[in-house]
Amino acid sequence: MSFFQMCRSLCPAALLLCFALRPIAGSANAALMPGFDGGSGWLNSDPLKPSQLQGKVVLVDFWEYTCINCLRTLPYLREWYRRYHDKGLVIVGVHTPEFDFSGLRANVAAAAKRLDVSWPIVLDDKFAIWKRYENSEWPHEYLYDQQGRLVESFEGEGGYQQTEARIQTLLKAADPHLTFPPVMALLPQDSYDEPGAVCYPMTHEILVGRRGIADSSPSNDSMREADYVDGVANPQDGALYLQGYWRMTPEAAISGESDGFLVLRYHAIQVDTVLKPENGGPVRVDVAQDGKPVAKSDAGKDLQYDDRGNSFVEVNAPRAYDVIMNAQFGQHNLQLSPKAPGLGIYDVAFESCEVPGSPR
């Protein structure tokens, strides 16, 4: 769990205190920006070195295109890049993959185009830059001044107005004649200090290939490819249950030739799942909640409906799919039923903050 995820389980007042306690490096003795060598290539830019970035304010963003928390930071980064790029701000996205497929250049390039990430991206598929920065999670922003000194380090979501104010201060120090708009207002989804806002406890993120399957069969736990039988009437929260023929890999559960499904009991508001069409796709995946098609009031952005009212997601690329956005916090049973073999289920992640007036 990231620092921000831990903080968001607190009430809004405690949340503000939690962020206030984040350590900020002093500029006088701050660490200098490490380099970016060791990556496998760059997108949107020729390779960059710290020496080339002298005189620029640099925001180094460790991210991953399937990471739900990283996706929620992108609207702020896009706006900062639009506002300040021609005034001396450089954003360097360090894309360190969580899965084998999310380290492939073509997949990152497609995701960057779809997500409108236009700033330089270095591909860190061997974790060389991650280790050099002694990083431990996604997202993580490191802000450096024009001399390459670290002035802010922020892990997880949040702190957006604080970071933008620091960017403005650094740019204005180099050119006092610059004028800036007010810092960007928080998106409704991030306005945790609003009256009525609350962040509930939620089921922890599930990396499917690293989580044991809770079914009692197959009896031989060392088997990675088998027919599973879901015979559990009351599933345990956060446990995975399979029905049908599945192949388990170190990263995913991959559907076989059967009418199989995955069942998960969870408590949260939002559910995102990382899915991949292993055979090239597309693959239709029926999505049910509490034994029924998902109510349209609880549908995530990627959920579709057929003419019979069944809810499904069309998996045509390896990425995160937003399948559930419940109108209210609660505990539910989620069922994912691929309608063809070769559907890889890699990750299930949750959000649980409820902000009045936030668009769905």
Q: For the chain, what are the domain ranges?
A: 3-198, 200-354
* φ, ψ for residue 181, nearest 5 deg: -75, 165
Q: What does pTM read for this prediction? A: 0.88
Please choose, from the candidates 176, 180, 215, 13, the residue with its C-alpha nearest in 3D space to the C-alpha of residue 84: 180
pLDDT of residue 159: 94
pLDDT of residue 39: 96
pLDDT of residue 233: 77
CATH topology of domain 3-198: Glutaredoxin (3.40.30)
Kindly give the parts of the chain with pLDDT less than 70: 1-30, 192-193, 215-223, 231, 357-360
Chosen CATH of 200-354 out of 3.90.550.10, 3.30.2350.10, 1.10.490.10, 2.60.120.260: 2.60.120.260
